[in-house]
Structure 1
Amino acid sequence: MHVLNRGFFSSTRARSVLSVIAMLIFAGTVLAFRNLEPLTNYFTYSEDGIWLGYAMSKGWWHTIINAKPDYLVWGNLLFVYLATLVSDIFCDDKLICYPQAISFWSYFFYSSVSVLCYYATKDLLPETIRWIVFLSTLMIPLGDSSGEIFGKITNIGYYFVLITTLLIFVKSRKTTATPLIDTILLLSAATNPVCLVLTLALSIFTLPDHNFKKWIKRYGAITIGCLAIGAIIFFKITASPAKGVIGSFRLESLIEVSLARAFIYPFVFPFYNQLSDTIVVILSLALLTLLGVLLAKEKSREVRTLISMCATAYIIYLFFTVYMRKSLTEILGGYASTFPDRYFMGLNIIVVFSLLVLAGSALRASRAVRIIGATTLISFTALYIGNVAWLIEGETTRVQFGGNLTFQDQLCSAALQPADTEGNISVSLYPAGQLATVPKDKVSAAANKIECAPEDVSFYVTDSNWIKGIARKWAGFYLHNTPENLAAFTIGSTVQFPDKTTRKIVDISTSNETINVFVDGDILIAKKVGLPFKFIVIDQL
């Protein structure tokens, strides 16, 4: 047995698998540090919950086709489904640990993209440069919106364009069948419609190097699959023609959208607010010149092919981003903000990847080209190291996309609602106003396992004075004004919080509905002490 184990772990394939696992763990840790909120505040965001509700109330097959009115989101739904499985395994319920499971798969997905960038450049770049590519794609700047990206599944679709590009490049280098790559390519096409166009375009891109019969053998199945997916999307758009193009075009913001935010942002993010159209055009021309010079001096045919594919992907992606999301020219203007960053992160990662590949490959060229490549790499690395404190937001993100109620709190509140005629109830999500329609029996089953309090947690409000019933400006909290609470929470008594810390009650005040309880010490931290109905009096006078 010892010999067999030693043989297994010494094999090339086993070492590769272990290396990938180690890189995924490392990458996930980096992303978690970039935004720790998903690990400290368990809430469900936007479509992550809406799609779950569709699946649980209408069934997975209905959701696969109808989750979005104008395109498909099969990649997103795959991870939503996997999150329900993980929650069911670890918490014996598909809902109770759903936010934590979503966070896990989100970190896994974004980590996998960076690992793919590393392995796609095997034999193309020096090992050190491949690690720079790996780390840099983990640290893509996201404006103030990392809280909308990391720990969420709803926005992963924007990275599928790069995934498609890299996988077709990898596929073009292989001489054997690639069923796993083909499956992921079709999944990508059924997640981001840009990938549908891109897969067909890049497949044709490889035709001059192969005869038609070989091309059919290699890309025939993918082409047929893409045409089938395209037909489904066409009929969906035909059924809802107003859904395709969003907003109206604002010409004066075109430079900011198409150049500043989509092209040069990863290299100017520390001083984005100081930019102007003139500066952006100059910097964009400088970056294009740098890329052009490095590409012209590139001697590796495979590197040129990879960068040409990336350029094709970028142009197609940018066109559809600007055309299909014309509202971006209305939202952005004057370099005051970069939100919504999600629409540009897929474009940004293509630019960063392409620049680093060209600069890294240039280190093997002539002396003059090596100097350009080395200068580019050093400048890029210095930029990101110098701004690492901004890139890593930690537990407190610059923009809060969630609130103080956890998903379990929201399940408890929803369980108190009456069901509609179809047996469903609405579970609140974030941002405020978003709802998931879930069968009441599923919510009630989860609420029973959570052991919810027999009251609506929405009583404990969050506003300028309170955080879920915990005072923001003084040490204390409020409770329902009941005879039981009046008898228990008295001056001089000691309150114990769920985190096992204690405070002494120094004063109380009452109104018709509430009891305000003042305790000694510093202001209470809501995330640590929890909701007031869970507090108990352990030493009563």
Structure 2
Amino acid sequence: MLKRTQLFIGIFCISCLIFFIRNPDAFFNPVFYAEDGRSYVGPILSHGFFPALFEARADYLVLGNIVITGIAILINQLIFGSNVLNLPQIIAITSYSFLAFVAALPILLLHQKLRMRYLILLALAVSFFPLGGSDFEVIGRILNLGYAFVYLAFILIAYRNIRLEQGDTKQNIWIFLGLDICIWVCAATNPVVFMLQPIAYFPYLKKVWKKGSSWQSIFRDRTFLSLIGLSTVLCIQLFFMLASRNSYTGGLDSSWTPASLIEMVLARSILYPVIYPFYRYMNDVFTVLLLIAVVALFIKFANPKNYEMYWAGVYSLAIFSLLAVVFRPGLTSLLNGYSTTWPDRYYYGQNLLSIFLVVLLVQDIASCFLKRSMQLGVLTIAFVVLLSGANQASSYGNIERHAGNLRQIGTFEQNLMQAVARQSFINEEWQPAADGKFVFVPIYPTTPPWAMMLPRHIAEQSTQVEPVANIANPSALQNVSPLGNGGYQVTDKDPGIRYDLQLFQLNGTDADILGFDFACLGSSVAPQASAPTLEIYWGSKSFGGPDEQSVIRFVAPNGPVRIPLDTSARWHQAHHLRSLRIDVQNPEVCPAFSVKNAQLLKRTPER
């Protein structure tokens, strides 16, 4: 047991590192994405855990997402108090950790069905499960973790059945109660888990049909009563979910495209983990032939002792895929003859189940060979097949696949500081109000624009600053002419204004934020498009510059601007700051601009 626990911890840490490497942007570019901010963090901080739970979605609960968010908020409070500026990074770490936990959990629970080398293969394959261009929407986020809860529920139910097979029904009832509660959490996160309940009843039916046990003895079994209680709760929950579905119009509920059914159900949902490196070369004929080949391998090599596990996995995978077609038929219209896999996030739950079944079959195939070298050969082939696309496991740095790397409106800290500086206060109905108790904060994605609501007192406490240096008067102008009152007319390319910092004798650690009032003047472009991209360059004795290694870029709409310079390691490590320059990167949208009240600020957030 100690060895398994040590291996679990080791694989968990390795998996955490893998998920971090797959999408480090969630940590290094701290932003809130979609429901993470609007439906989870904002409501929990504004109204509390339970209101957020029941308001996150109108059609079903997302308990697991809310619990993970709550854990991240609790960790943030323990470390940073009421300061939420680091919360996006805490959420990223929590997301990496949850996915790693799901990947490593079979090492603890399924060691009686899979030998250790195959459990390691399973954990690594799950850590590298293919996501294409959707990785930045899953890894390091919380909003799309719900699909992993189906796989998690499958693992928990499989472990429950294994314990029943061992006759462990009397002395450890609390373990079964704990398992059933965890399964309920999974079902209260993803409704597909409701349909996995028959798997949990199979051991009891087996006792009656094959072993001749009476129903009276089954109903005296406390583990069975626990399962009945779980099913009762789920039936009640399912009733309310179905009753509320008519009041909710979700995405991807358009009519389905019959021509894409084979691709969606067989290729994209079931076979994808082994074909994704060459997916674009597939077609329906190859898909059907490959599935026949897999079935033939199962008939030839599957161990009868594992038939129940295969049945449970195939049933779970079939139900998951069928429900995806029924409730998200619009997914079929997004597929286009094996030329695209987007949106990948809707399929990775099925893919995790497929990976498990493949690894189980690999073990059975290897067991049919007596020579150890042959067994290792089968295992090696499985490693190559399942991990052959690992070099495609991350879209980080690929702007075409990574939605522009989420840089359009800056980090969460930038947007929160500017929201407070501009007094973007709202009431509970999201209406502007000078005395509003909440702050309207833009988040990602930006098309269409998303936003989150934060309590005003938390926002203000997190963004408290004190002035360090007043640098209001520029020391030099670059390709601009003064208009008076802080205004400047662009005269050539690369326009900007320069400030001399040498008199202040500052290091980067002495000032965290640059603040000023900005306005774009005389632009003929539509107001929404006229917000230019500004560039903040600086020079120091330690690093020289200004240069491209010492720059921060951001979109600057009119009004107060607050730029956290210390998010750049180069600023934070700079000694003897010499100069700071504000450039307009795209003067064609802003031929004249004004910069007033420039000053360097230091954070003084309350804990």
Q: How large is the RMSD of aligned CA atoms in angstroms?
A: 4.0
Asked if residue 34 in structure 1 is aligned to residue 22 in structure 2, the reply is: yes
Question: Structure 1 residue 150: deviation in Å?
Answer: 0.8
1:85-120 Cα deviation digits (max 9, x unpaired): 111122222622211111111111111111112233
1:144 to 133, 152, 165: 133
Is the 2:33–2:443 contact (alpha carbons within 8 Å) kept by the matching residues of 1?
yes
Q: Which residue of 2 aligns with 1:503?
A: none
1:433-477 Cα deviation digits (max 9, x unpaired): 1211222222222222799999xxxxxxxxxxxxxxxxxxxx999
Q: Which residue of 2 aligns with 1:380?
A: 382
1:232-271 Cα deviation digits (max 9, x unpaired): 3432442341537722111111111111211111111112
Q: Which residue of 2 aligns with 1:201?
A: 198
Letter in 1 for 2:222: K
Asked if residue 243 in structure 1 is aligned to residue 257 in structure 2, the reply is: no
Asked if residue 419 in structure 1 is aligned to residue 425 in structure 2, the reply is: yes
Letter in 1 for 2:419: A
Q: Which residue of 1 aligns with 2:364?
A: 361
More displaced, 48-57 or 308-317?
Answer: 48-57
Distance in 1 (alpha carbons) for counterparts of 2:189 and 2:45: 20
Distance in 1 (alpha carbons) for counterparts of 2:42 and 2:424: 17
Distance in 2 (alpha carbons) for counterparts of 1:94 and 1:348: 38
In the superposition, relative to structure 1, how do residues 386 and 233 fare at CA in structure 2: closer, same or farther (>3 Å)? closer
Q: Which residue of 1 aligns with 2:218?
A: 214
Question: Structure 1 residue 337: deviation in Å?
Answer: 1.5
Equivalences for residues 94-105 of structure 1 within 5 A: 95-105=84-94
In the superposition, relative to structure 1, how do residues 70 and 410 fare at CA in structure 2: closer, same or farther (>3 Å)? same
Is the 1:137–1:352 contact (alpha carbons within 8 Å) kept by the matching residues of 2?
yes
Asked if residue 291 in structure 1 is aligned to residue 298 in structure 2, the reply is: yes
Letter in 1 for 2:352: I
More displaced, 38-47 or 484-493?
Answer: 484-493
Q: Which residue of 2 aligns with 1:84?
A: 73
Equivalences for residues 97-246 of structure 1 within 5 A: 97-174=86-163, 175=168, 176-177=172-173, 178=175, 179-198=177-196, 200-210=197-207, 211=213, 212=215, 213-214=217-218, 217-241=222-246, 243=248, 246=253
Equivalences for residues 384-399 of structure 1 within 5 A: 384-393=386-395, 398-399=401-402
1:489 to 496, 499, 502: 499
Q: Which residue of 1 aligns with 2:35?
A: 47
1:320-366 Cα deviation digits (max 9, x unpaired): 11111111012112222211111111111111111111211332235
Unpaired runs of 5+ in structure 1?
1-11, 455-474, 501-509
Letter in 2 for 1:383: V
Distance in 1 (alpha carbons) for counterparts of 2:508 and 2:554: 6
1:112-142 Cα deviation digits (max 9, x unpaired): 1111122333133332222112211111111
Q: Secondary structure at the match of 2:347?
A: helix
Identity within the alignment, % = 21
Distance in 2 (alpha carbons) for counterparts of 1:480 and 1:242: 56
Distance in 2 (alpha carbons) for counterparts of 1:533 and 1:205: 58
Q: Secondary structure at the match of 2:425?
A: coil
Q: Secondary structure at the match of 2:407?
A: coil
Unpaired runs of 5+ in structure 2?
208-212, 429-436, 471-477, 489-495, 511-519, 524-531, 539-544, 556-561, 566-570, 581-607
Letter in 1 for 2:341: T
Is the 1:476–1:516 contact (alpha carbons within 8 Å) kept by the matching residues of 2?
no
Distance in 1 (alpha carbons) for counterparts of 2:466 and 2:8: 36
In the superposition, relative to structure 1, how do residues 137 and 399 fare at CA in structure 2: closer, same or farther (>3 Å)? same
Distance in 2 (alpha carbons) for counterparts of 1:88 and 1:407: 17
1:255-304 Cα deviation digits (max 9, x unpaired): 11111211111111112122222222222222233234332xx14x2x22
More strand by share: 2
In the superposition, relative to structure 1, how do residues 412 and 286 fare at CA in structure 2: closer, same or farther (>3 Å)? same
Q: Which residue of 1 aligns with 2:529?
A: none
Q: Which residue of 1 aligns with 2:458?
A: 442
Is the 2:362–2:382 contact (alpha carbons within 8 Å) kept by the matching residues of 1?
no
Q: Which residue of 2 aligns with 1:464?
A: none
Is the 1:43–1:406 contact (alpha carbons within 8 Å) kept by the matching residues of 2?
yes
Q: Secondary structure at the match of 2:132?
A: coil
More helix by share: 1
Distance in 2 (alpha carbons) for counterparts of 1:352 and 1:533: 43
Q: Secondary structure at the match of 1:427?
A: strand
In the superposition, relative to structure 1, how do residues 429 and 453 fare at CA in structure 2: closer, same or farther (>3 Å)? farther
Q: Secondary structure at the match of 1:284?
A: helix
Question: Structure 1 residue 218: deviation in Å?
Answer: 1.1
Question: Structure 1 residue 16: deviation in Å?
Answer: 5.1
